[in-house]
Amino acid sequence: MAAAAVAGSVLRGLLRRQLSAQCQPLLSFRAMSSAPEQPHASHSYETLKVSRVREKVFHVELNRPDKRNAMNAVFWREMVECFNKIAQDSDCHAVVVSGAGKLFTAGIDLMEMGSMFMMVEGDDTARKAWNTRKKIREYQESFTVLERCPKPVIAAVHGACIGGGVDLISACDIRYCTQDAWFQVKEVDIGLAADVGTLQRLPKIIGNQSLVNELAFTARKMMAPEAESSGLVSRVFQDKQAMLEGAFELAADIAGKSPVAVQGTKVNLVYSRDHSVSEGLRYMATWNMSMLQTEDLMKSAQAAMEKKSTKDIVYSKM
């Protein structure tokens, strides 16, 4: 309805621009980069590897392959640093997250993290509990930052995705996996309830409370076919290479569209998930009362009239 309301003014604007002798070309050819991954100079981490794989597409790898990408204390901190930086980077419009080595992640690094929670500071039970809660909230932020990042985040999972790995991918926008991938809400097997996002996000992703309860209560493995049929992942690939190529191509397609449209869509999807329909509609109306004034709308409308792809449009950075 909003698009229809502005269609008349958009078309009138197009006609004026087409009649103007000083009108600058809106469209230019933009070839898809097929160059190998290039490490990103502004991102240097111990547990993550960040590279640019396509135009405006970043690849973030969990990079502790010798430790099965187990999540240690440094990882939790670096995830926040990395995605806060990506959120502000106008050269990035979409992100792919994968794991280096033989599997996506074995989850929390029990050898390191277990000792941290056994030695919480505090003079009594109340103060220890207060500090424990503070630490858990910090770890929750490590994955909430993926959800809050306005750039779409695509998880590409191969092999095992255990415990904290399920928390991580639940905060991503799109999930792909290989046919040998499997997923496990492992926390009950180590004596705790999952506390960094799985229990809150997974029911809304799968939409089957019975299945979520079964997975969370039993810690059984969910194999790739079941993950696809349940809606946890949207595509299954033969192997890791094919999956990464598929994820990069998807990210490039997203990155080629208006960043005003894509980032606004993600913000409103996340908001609407956690609010009523009427609240979501009010938020959307407030959002678009300014965003409909973007030049991207004019450029996209002209490309559609000329039967050209959005990949040929040069949008301003955002």
Residue 64 tokens read as 């502790």
Given the residues 37, 55, 81, 195, select the one marked as catalytic.
195
Given the residues 109, 173, 187, 296, select the one marked as catalytic.
187
Query: What's the rounded Cα separation, in Å, for the pair 255 and 272?
Result: 23
Question: How many angstroms separate the Cα of 203 from the Cα of each of 208, 213, 254, 298?
Answer: 6, 9, 26, 39
The answer to whether residue 37 is catalytic is: no
The answer to whether residue 167 is catalytic is: yes
Given the residues 99, 107, 163, 164, select the one marked as catalytic.
164
Sign, Cα dihedral of 243, 172, 224, 192: positive
The answer to whether residue 274 is catalytic is: no
In this structure, which amino acid lies at residue 102?
A: K
Name the nearest CA neighbour of 58 among 240, 252, 313: 252
| Sheet (strand 38-39) strand order | 38-39, 48-54, 57-62, 94-99, 153-157, 174-178, 235-237
Query: What's the rounded Cα separation, in Å, for the pair 90 and 157?
Result: 26
The answer to whether residue 164 is catalytic is: yes
Question: How many angstroms separate the Cα of 72 from the Cα of each of 27, 112, 117, 128?
Answer: 47, 6, 13, 21
The answer to whether residue 108 is catalytic is: yes
Query: What's the rounded Cα separation, in Å, for the pair 318 and 312?
Result: 17
Given the residues 86, 108, 154, 206, select the one marked as catalytic.
108
Name the nearest CA neighbour of 69 among 39, 98, 26, 29: 98
Element spanning 21, H or E = none
Given the residues 167, 173, 228, 296, select the one marked as catalytic.
167
- Judged by DSSP in three states, 108 sits in strand
Query: What's the rounded Cα separation, in Å, for the pair 53 and 306?
Result: 30
Query: What's the rounded Cα separation, in Å, for the pair 27 and 12?
Result: 19
Cβ pair 227, 155 in contact under 8 A: no
Active site residues: 108, 164, 167, 187, 195
